[in-house]
Chain A
Amino acid sequence: MRKRFAAAAITASIFFSTVLLLTDPELWTVAPFHAYVLIGLTGLDVLMLTASLRGSILVARIGVLYGLGKLALFLGDIFTAPEFGTTYWEFASYLFSLWAYDGLLASQIGIVAGSYLDRRQQRW
């Protein structure tokens, strides 16, 4: 059976990542390394989505940890503020002002919740 909850959330995550990569000029101007990491994570999302759509149990098994890990990574980005000569609060304000970043965080929570629901559904 397909893991549709997690797949939907991973699709959203890919969408928000792509929007960030395309529309955030500061990402490429100031922090290109962060952009490359985001590209890598988006690639992982694509792999997870493919596995999910093929009915693999991988997503249901590791989806919760995967989503939590990425959520921590994206929130942890705030702590790189000194790299840009700015305060944590300013950098956090900047990040949260980007709707794609907010969507990205929400979609990670969606991956966690979706994977959990898919796993529960599988047990039944």
Chain B
Amino acid sequence: MAAVLAAVIVVGVGVFIFLSFQPGRSSGQTTAMTTHQTTAGSSVIALTLYLNDYGYNSSRGGPRIQAYVGDLIRIRLIGNGSGPIVHDFTLDEGSPSPYSIKSERLRRGQEQIIEFIANHPGVYSYYCSVRGFAGPSHRDRGQEGIIEILQRT
């Protein structure tokens, strides 16, 4: 019996050490591209956000997104979390904001394009809504950014 216990402990410790020293994944692409296309009075704001652990296009926070009232905001979301970790893009009453935008929860490699009209001026937070029943949420870990909708003069 003692031999079995010793074997279990040795195997457990061995597996732990072996797995702990595996090389980490590559950080992947983390740059955002923003383009403006002028249409009749309003613009299309297009950008790409990589949903990293625990930030947008970085490991914390996210780029400041600026648009004018009436602009169409088109965001290409690319999941880039590690392991089983998923992330999303949320702009809703929790931001707080008058918008109700929530993407799917994307794992690494999954993509989604979300579009919405910037029709409420103000400064709001977009964030990742993944959270447990207790403990720090992804937002608490820094996964949020600012979106600023300016009044067109």
Contact = CB atoms under 8 A, between A and B. Distances in A.
Nearest to B22: A89
Nearest to B1: A116
Interface stretch (B9-17, B41-49, B65-73, B113-121): B9-17
B5 interface: yes
A29 B86 contact: yes
A7 to B, nearest CB: 18
Contacts of A121: none
| Contact count band on B | 20 to 34
B134 A22 contact: yes
B146 interface: no
A86 B79 CA distance: 13
Given A22-B135, A68-B8, A84-B107, A90 B16 contact: no
Contact of A93 (B8, B24, B108, B109): B24
B83 A109 contact: no
A25 B19 contact: no
A25 B107 contact: no
Contacts of B12: 71, 75, 105, 109
A24 B15 CA distance: 22
Interface of B: 1-2, 4-5, 8-9, 12, 15-16, 19-20, 22, 24-25, 82-86, 105, 107-109, 130-135, 137-138
30 contacts: A22-B134, A25-B131, A26-B130, A27-B132, A28-B132, A28-B133, A29-B86, A29-B130, A31-B84, A64-B1, A64-B4, A68-B8, A84-B107, A85-B108, A86-B83, A86-B84, A86-B108, A89-B19, A90-B83, A91-B84, A92-B22, A93-B19, A93-B20, A93-B83, A94-B84, A102-B16, A109-B8, A109-B9, A109-B12, A113-B5
**Closest 10 pairs (CB-CB, A-B):** A23-B135, A94-B83, A84-B84, A25-B132, A22-B134, A90-B83, A92-B19, A89-B22, A22-B133, A23-B132
Interface of A: 21-31, 64, 68, 71, 75, 81, 84-86, 89-94, 96, 102, 105, 109, 112-113, 116
